Amino acid sequence: MPRAAIRILTILEAYSVTGPAKAVLEFAREARKAAEPRIELSVLTFVRSHSDNEFIRAVRAEDIPIDIVYERGRFDTGVFAQMRAAVARRKPHIIWTHGVKSHFLIRLSGLHKQARWVAFDHGYTTTSWSVRLYNQLDRWSHLGASRIVTVCRPFAARLESRGIDPRLIRVEHMPIRSSAGEAAPAGSELRNRLQIDEGATVLLSVGRLSREKGHSELLKAFASVLRNNPQIRLCLLLVGDGPEAIRLRRLSAELHLDNHVHFMGHQNSVRVFYDAADIFVLPSHSEGSPNVLLEAIDAGLPTIATAVGGIPEIVTNEASALLVPPGDVDALTAAISRLVTDKSLQDRLRKTAKVVLSHHSPERYFQNISAIFEEVIDNAGVGNRR
């Protein structure tokens, strides 16, 4: 006899479709196709205005039921009544939270005692004092979870070091849906619009402009590559926005890079930038399972990345990418110089990296996450409800 559908309420604060939001949407698409286990997914998100954002529009476009919690500001206790009403309405078997704020609110509200709770740990940022506070509270929040899923083995080790029972921890990388067969965006038009010289090698980096993303080291390394290779025409596209934007623009000017670096700001869709680029660079000090790395590989870009977090679990140095230590400007300079001057290396990395995508398919992600949900329900006595 087929089992009853598993009702999942996923809680995610997002304003655009990046990282965890993409994974949730992919999970929902696969859930619609799967015969077993049957999943009934709904979403709860937080906003501070009554206008829709990109994430809400994307959820509705997928015909996923959504509850919107309106908050007046940081630490608004009025959100608890709205969250409790949503849980009473959806009657989830499992609450699936993404991010430190969602973890904290579920634990503090006591809603983790009304359903099994799977907390997804995507890593930490330090963009504001409130985020840093939530980060510190996450140790306490996790103690109430039935299972904790995280995106790489180093993050799992960090959870264990904080006293989490290793039997409750699972590792699952982010998924990506291959764009093979889709119409390619007009990268050549973007290059023309930006007046990039024909024949120039275009480097691309996509990510929030915050300190942990390592953009200052990238700018310094890029400047060194230009000095050491005056015969090569190079351009760097930085896609993203964040608290470091002004400082990075100032650094670019100080390094005399104004004619070579384009700050593109936040972009709702980045596909055209992958199509316009020749090489992808991810210089982060900290990463979990970065979607942008998988997207670059899917777009056929040879990649340079730092060997942090889950990146070495996704790609192998010299086989599917060039990996360098985080914060090492000299190593990053050498890797960029090597790749821009060696077309055969570009071709080899581009070809061998494609196998990576098969390990990160949405189908596999759905199967693995669903197995965790079934495990939680079938082992109702295992886990925390503190």
Are 14 and 100 in contact, with CB atoms under 8 Å apart? no
The segment(s) of the chain belonging to CATH 3.40.50.2000 are: 6-175+361-378, 187-359
Collapse the DSSP code of 211 into the 3-class scheme (helix H, G, I; strand E, B; otherwise coil) and give the result.
Answer: helix
Q: Cα torsion for 211, 217, 218, 222, to the nearest 10°?
A: 150
Task: Locate 32 and state its tokens.
Answer: 């619609």
Q: pLDDT per residue over 96-127, tens digit each?
A: 999 888 999 999 999 999 999 999 998 755 55
Write out the chain in H/E/C secondary structure.
CCCCCEEEEEEECCCCCCCHHHHHHHHHHHHHHCCCCCEEEEEEEEECCCCCCHHHHHHHHCCCCEEEEECCCCCCCCHHHHHHHHHHHHCCCEEEEECHHHHHHHHHHCHHHCCEEEEEECCCCCCCHHHHHHHHHHHHHHCCCCEEEECCHHHHHHHHHCCCCHHHEEECCCCCCCCCCCCCCCHHHHHHHCCCCCCCEEEEEECCCCHHHCHHHHHHHHHHHHHHCCCCCEEEEEEECCCCHHHHHHHHHHCCCCCCEEEEECCCCCHHHHHHCCEEEECCCCCCCCHHHHHHHHCCCCEEEECCCCHHHHCCECCCEEEECCCCHHHHHHHHHHHHHCHHHHHHHHHHHHHHHHHHCHHHHHHHHHHHHHHHHHCCCCCCCC
What is the reported pLDDT for 237? 98
What is the reported pLDDT for 130? 52
Average pLDDT, the chain: 91
Q: pLDDT per residue over 209-239, tens digit each?
A: 999 999 999 999 999 999 999 999 999 999 9
Q: Which of 247, 221, 244 is nearest to 234 (CA)?
A: 221
Q: pLDDT per residue over 141-184, tens digit each?
A: 888 899 999 999 999 999 999 888 999 999 999 999 988 767 76
What is the reported pLDDT for 105? 92
What is the reported pLDDT for 133? 57
φ/ψ of 68, rounded to 5, equals -110, 120
Q: Which CATH architecture has domain 187-359?
A: 3-Layer(aba) Sandwich (3.40)
**Beta-carbon neighbour count of residue 345 at 10 Å?**
15
What is the reported pLDDT for 136? 64
- Domain 6-175+361-378, CATH: 3.40.50.2000
Q: Which secondary structure element, helix H or strand E, spans residue 203, and what is its range?
A: strand 201-206
Q: pLDDT per residue over 179-209, tens digit each?
A: 876 776 789 999 999 999 888 999 999 999 9
What is the reported pLDDT for 343? 95
Q: Percentage of the chain surpassing pLDDT 90?
A: 77
Average pLDDT over every residue of 336-355: 95
Q: pLDDT per residue over 255-288, tens digit each?
A: 999 899 999 999 988 999 999 999 999 999 999 9
What is the reported pLDDT for 226? 96
Average pLDDT over every residue of 307-334: 97
Is 0.85 surpassed by the pTM of this model? Answer: yes
Are 251 and 216 in contact, with CB atoms under 8 Å apart? yes
